[in-house]
A and B are shown apart, each in its own frame.
Chain A
Amino acid sequence: MIDSAWVCENGWQILMLLVDHFQLVGLSLFIGAVATALMVLMVLWQPSLSRPLTYISGVLFTIPSLALFIFLMPLTGLSKTTSIIGLSAYSLLIILQNALAGFDNTPAEILEEARAMGYTRFQRFVSVELPLAMPTIVAGLRTTAVTLIGMVTVTAVIGQGGLGQLFVTGLTLDFSTPVIVSLILTVAVALFFDFAFYIAEKYLFPWER
């Protein structure tokens, strides 16, 4: 089923695609997280912004991915930028929803206690609200990372897509090896991200369970 000669011959290229894949996911996740952080700060400053911002990220999330990339193409071309913009846009909803839920679910009595102990508003945010919201925020990043790893392959239509390009190769050559290799590696990358997050969560939030 797998032509091992092909795999050996194209080993270097496969590796480069793998690196590409990591890069696309990592950068999109990072940009999504930074954008979300800004939105969260806006909501903390003006709570009424919570609904419209969630709504906008929701609308972005519902645009079919293929359509979004094709729509972006005239603007940014067949570049990494195009795929990163698209992927970052998709990451917003999950990260934002989790972040807002994280802040909402901070127990009221704990915030009250912090107030009673004489924490200033800033101290309360930095040393109580934010650390307590972090596990939910990171859980959102984890879900988003795994979602993006699958979604990256779609950007193969604009000549990007990391391992997704192997799907296109396999399809055009009517040859199953690249497809299977790509599939295995994509799943492996997803598992790797998921596990890395799991370890990070255990290490960062020792108070949880």
Chain B
Amino acid sequence: MLRFENVTKHHAGKSAPAVSGLNLLVEEGELCVFVGPSGCGKSTILRMINRLDTLDSGRISINGVDTQETDIVTLRRHVGFMMQKAALFPHKTVEENISAVPRLLKWDKRRIAARVAELMTLVDLPTELLTRYPNQLSGGQQSRVALARALASDPPIILMDEPFGALDPLTRERLQDELISLHKRLRKTIILVTHDMEEAIKLGQRIAVFEDQGKLVQFDSPENILARPENGFVRQFVGNDPSLRRLALMKVSELNTLEDIQGMEIASLANSNLYGHGETAFKLVINNNREPVRWISETEATPPKLTLVCGTNSLQTALLEILNSPSGVAVQVDDHGRFKRCISMAELHAALQQNRKDCAQ
């Protein structure tokens, strides 16, 4: 449990406070996102937790213990920290980077080696990379190493300052997904700072929205922030049309099946079954393991490329699939990659209407 009590900070030489009278309580095991415009003080707030920045007045406590009264080096070795530019030590190998804090804590060699191996699996990196140097890694791999390094000593709290900000959109999305599943497994308290509302909504169990001068405007679940923004500032920050963001919050697995899917027909072709959409000229080829293979077309020469969604994807992803696919549907598979069904636009629309009704109540 991480508690801010009346925390105030002024930057030297500036009259406006960087943070003023902040009260906030982050529960143990929670993934909490601090979001706000650039320069609103959210990073400063994060950095005050491990005392990279000092506070002028007030109190920050971890499980009831005032951080000011903890030895600064001990405090920092027990709070994981990951910043935007990965900031790996360029002169140390991946292995040395990951094991940096355990070494500082003087773990014995065997324990360190075992922990490093465990972490490499956890962040999904091949062990060949252990002897590489950071500049021999891709941006995504560097971020994974930085994440493993932050987790190394198994700290109960992890602070992340725009950790995925410097990554390309695809890699960022993949790492976000992995962070969510990692958090589910490890149950660590994670505080992540971002200026990207979309990222906040995707990752946060609770989101703290900050205005300038570190003023906390709203601290709530993403659903509630979207449905009931506290004021004009939050509404503006969320965006004028939150429908897309709501789709991002809903999972494919939550969709109700609509009748209109019955328009699908099944045919047999050699060893495969064909699923066709009533009106379009595309049919889906499915092999004997019920895995979708590709689209075939009866009229057009080049059928669309087959992409799949699964239950854990968001409806926003499903929407993109529908929009990008000339067949007009997204193909859903189950955990084993077997064909489950096709999702149509009508279903998304119905789901969104339903969600709006639920939130209004």
Could you count the A-B residue pairs with CB atoms below 8 Å apart for me: how many are there?
A: 53
In the bound complex, CA of A205 to CA of B89 (Å): 13
Query: Which segment, of A41-49, A112-120, A147-155, faces chain B?
Result: A112-120
Is A109 in the interface zone, CB < 8 Å from B?
yes
B201 CB-CB contact with A under 8 Å = no
B19 within 8 Å of A by Cβ?
no
- Most B CB atoms within 10 A — which of A114, A118, A205? A118
CA distance A142 to B92 in the complex (A): 24
Q: Chain B residues near A209 (CB, 8 Å)?
A: 135
CB-CB nearest in chain B for A106: B90
Given A113-B81, A113-B83, A115-B52, CB of A120 within 8 Å of CB of B73? yes
How many chain A residues sit at the interface, stated as a range, is 20 to 34
Residue pair A207, B133 in contact (C-beta under 8 Å): yes
Q: Is A180 an interface residue (CB 8 A)?
A: no
A10 at the interface (CB under 8 A from B): no
Q: Does B100 contact A (CB under 8 A)?
A: yes
- A30–B133 Cα distance when bound, in Å, is 31
For B76, give the chain A residue with the smallest CB separation: A118
Q: Which A residues touch B83, using CB under 8 A?
A: 109, 112-113, 116
- B85 close to A109 (CB less than 8 A): yes
Q: In the complex, which residues of chain A have a beta carbon less than 8 angstroms from the beta carbon of B74?
A: 118
CB contacts (< 8 Å) of A113 on chain B: these are 81, 83, 87, 89
Once the chains bind, are B90 and A117 in contact (CB under 8 Å)? Answer: no
B133 lies within 8 A of A116 (CB) = no
Given A113-B83, A115-B52, A117-B101, A128 and B89 contact (CB-CB distance below 8 Å)? yes
Q: Which of A107, A116, A131 contacts B76 (CB 8 A)?
A: A116
A132, B101: Cα distance in complex, Å: 19
Confirm or deny: B50 has a beta carbon within 8 angstroms of a beta carbon on chain A: yes
Task: Give the contacts of A100-134 with B (CB-CB under 8 A).
Answer: 107, 109-110, 112-120, 123, 128, 131-132
Task: Answer whether residue A64 sits at the interface, using C-beta atoms and an 8 A cutoff.
Answer: no
Please tell me if A206 contacts chain B, counting CB pairs below 8 Å.
yes
Binding site for B on A (CB under 8 A): 107, 109-110, 112-120, 123, 128, 131-132, 205-207, 209
Top 3 A-B pairs ranked by shortest CB distance?
A118-B76, A118-B77, A116-B81
14 more CB-based (< 8 A) A-B contacts, given A109-B83, A109-B85: A112-B87, A113-B89, A116-B50, A116-B83, A117-B76, A118-B73, A118-B76, A118-B104, A123-B104, A128-B89, A207-B90, A207-B92, A207-B135, A209-B135
A-B contact pairs, 6 of them (CB 8 A): A107-B87, A110-B90, A116-B52, A120-B73, A206-B133, A207-B90
